Structure 1
Amino acid sequence: IPADVTELPTGAGASDETLPGSAFHVRNDGGGLSFMGAAPPEGDQPHRYFFVVHAVGEETLGVDGSASPAVVGFNLAFKTLGRAIIHGTWQA
């Protein structure tokens, strides 16, 4: 997402076309291209969720939409200047 973007409207991320600039999706851990939401099994312990925003010092990470989350994370490890984290929990 471009550095000058300060907010995303409701529905942003529903598809690559709803993302700003040249932003695009990569697969999530479930294999899809969208946010899976909080879905712990009923009665299970509270599940932790991390929403992380990275400030990247390069124009791109050098990946495309076919990259796995692991490859994106690897590239972020070497190109992140700073990050912010919001941590939440959910229990059904």
Structure 2
Amino acid sequence: MTLNDPFATMRAVPALTITSTTVHDGQEFAPAQMSGLMGVTGGGDVSPQLSWSGAPAGTRSYAVTMYDPDAPTGSGFWHWAVANIPVTCTSLPAGAGDDTGSGLPDRAVQLRNDAGSARYIGAAPPAGHGPHRYFLTVFALDVDHLDVGPDATPAFLGFNVFFHTLARGSIIAIAETPA
């Protein structure tokens, strides 16, 4: 098991291919994906562009999350959670996770993050805490709708996703705030 791997105890599933024009696996976030709302100078709180492919037969919807397992909370920090993305949608534009979810498909539900707002909130590791990993994950699901409303927590979404995941893929971005 890898330290703080959020998928270490979940069953193995096929991998989705995840790509982005704004963030790359193992690379640092750009200022746009950092959090000005949480005090990072120059942070834009702009959700990254995401595209995915390789969903298996039987996929009926998607969910997208961004999670920081390295946050000094004992439970990590959920930055973004979106459920009920239609199977016909295989990409989200940069900025889709704004306050109104303007770039999300009509029936998608954007949940409250751990900062308490239903939107994307960028990376904001505490100064001097070292590098944090941000798992941007897309889940292919075997149901077209999860019974989660906008007041559900990302952890509750994760619990529901657990039972319906056919495939998943992640981009793991890095952020660090100097001391």
Is the TM-score greater than 0.5?
yes
Whether 2:93 is the aligned partner of 1:38: answer no
Partner secondary structure for residue 44 of structure 1: coil
Aligned to 1:63: 148
Please name the residue that 2:90 is paired with: 6
Q: Distance in 1 between matches of 2:175 and 2:117?
A: 21
Answer whether contact 2:127 2:176 (CA < 8 A) is retained.
yes
Q: Which structure is higher in helix share?
A: 1
- Partners of 1:13 and 1:45 lie apart in 2 by 26
TM-score, normalization: structure 2? 0.48
Runs of 4+ that moved beyond 3 A? none
Q: Which amino acid aligns with 2:97?
A: G
What amino acid does structure 1 have at the position aligned with 2:163? F
1:13 is displaced (CA, Å) by 2.1
Q: Mind listing any 5+ residue stretches in structure 1 that lack a counterpart? A: none
Residues 19-61 of structure 1 deviation map (CA, whole Å, 9 limit, x = unaligned): 1130021111111111211111222210111000000100111
- Percent identical pairs in the alignment equals 45
Structure 2's unaligned 5+ residue stretches are 1-84
- Please state which structure has a larger fraction of its residues in strand: 2
Q: CA RMSD in A?
A: 1.4
For 1:16-55, what aligned pairs fall within 5 Å after superposition? 16-55=101-140
Q: Which amino acid aligns with 2:142?
A: G
TM-score (norm 1): 0.88
